[in-house]
Amino acid sequence: MRFEELRIAGAALVHIEPRTDARGFFARTFCAHEFAAHGLPAAAVQASVSYNIRAGTVRGMHFQWPPSQEGKLVRCLRGRLFDVLIDLRPDSVSYLQHQAVDLDQDNRTAVFIPAGIAHGFQTLADETEVLYQMTDFYLPELQCGYRWNDPQFGISWPLPATVISDRDAACADFDRAAHESEYRQRHAAAVPAPR
């Protein structure tokens, strides 16, 4: 595998290195030793798949509040998608920056998304299927999201949104002061008191 750092602190593209022969190819998509050597979590505790019928489908922008340590390794198994990361960690050097990457069935690249990053995507082809591997267990009480097309983030989505869930469409716009206050309260509550 080949790892390519992204502009978002702690995020990376993970490129496979296929070995080809007359049958096709074989490639590793995950190795705990290699991930650890690149400073990425070396274990996944859950995996999910997202199947999207129509091009233009939007999912996001989702994240988990502290104390969640839910990072994600996201890979497009079929179709194409425009995958977006927004750094929502107030102490990060890339706070409030966003970055988009193209993932598709041909490049077979994955993106690692650290905890504290909002994630979403838009499908660029019908019948797009996406695999997620998560580094922490999903906790519904820590789930949150911001509006996918909030102008404060300035994301240039490639297509009009054709399908979006009611929940995602109803996400709030980003309020920096409220976000930072909530983040710091939850982060402080998650840190054990000194003995």
Report, as an integer, the average pLDDT of 26-42: 94
pLDDT band at 192 (very low <50, low <70, confident <90, very high): low
The answer to whether 45 and 53 are in contact (CB under 8 A) is no
Report, as an integer, the average pLDDT of 180-192: 87
Q: What percent of the chain shows pLDDT beyond 70?
A: 97
Copy the structure tokens of residue 7. Answer: 């502009």
Active-site hit among 98, 119, 132, 146: 132
Q: Which residues pair with 74 in a beta bridge?
A: 111, 132
| Predicted pLDDT at 193 | 52
Active-site hit among 15, 38, 51, 62: 62
pLDDT band at 194 (very low <50, low <70, confident <90, very high): low
Report, as an integer, the average pLDDT of 156-163: 97
The helix/strand/coil state of 154 is coil
Distance of CA 135 to the CA centre of its chain: 12
Whether 95 is a known active-site residue: answer no
Copy the structure tokens of residue 41. Answer: 């979590």
Q: Where are the alpha helices (DSSP H) in 38-175?
A: 166-169
pTM of the model: 0.93
Whether 33 is a known active-site residue: answer no
